[in-house]
Amino acid sequence: GIPAERLAAAGAAPAEGWLLQGMFTEVGEGNRFKRAIIGFGQGASTMEVQVGVSDLASAHPREPFVMFGTVKDPSKLPGAAVTMNPYVAAAKFVMEKNATAKDVHKTADEIVGEILKYEGRIKQEALQHGSR
């Protein structure tokens, strides 16, 4: 695996490593009828998750070089001022609006799985981005 740590919003970021930034978007209001009649989570309100990965050792440590999720405008990620065209991976993460801790961990595992799946490409993108 890849070692990870949570950074405080006001704290300084390390000089090297990858920074994952994310945001919840596209809240789907769901379908009350399905929730009432079918139940079992059917028709629940949903949120999509966008994740950007940036290289802290690069000249632009807050600019993502790869994006995961349904990304319409990468510049709206927290702290992102994207001046390059990041690689966008074809992955979509959806959670229920009132997700349990188990659901959040499942989504986090899916995000990690995508990062590991694209690890070679991500390293290549990071090297190219760092040389700019």
Q: What is the pTM of this model?
A: 0.61
Strand partners for 87? 66
- The predicted structure's pLDDT at residue 30: 55
124 has a pLDDT exceeding 80 = no
Q: Out of 47-51, 52-56, 72-76, 100-104, which region has the weakest mean confidence (pLDDT)?
A: 72-76
Q: Are 82 and 64 in contact (CB under 8 A)?
A: yes
- Around Cβ 122, how many Cβ atoms within 10 Å? 20
Q: Are 75 and 92 in contact (CB under 8 A)?
A: no
Give the residue extent of every domain in the chain: 18-130
- The predicted structure's pLDDT at residue 109: 86
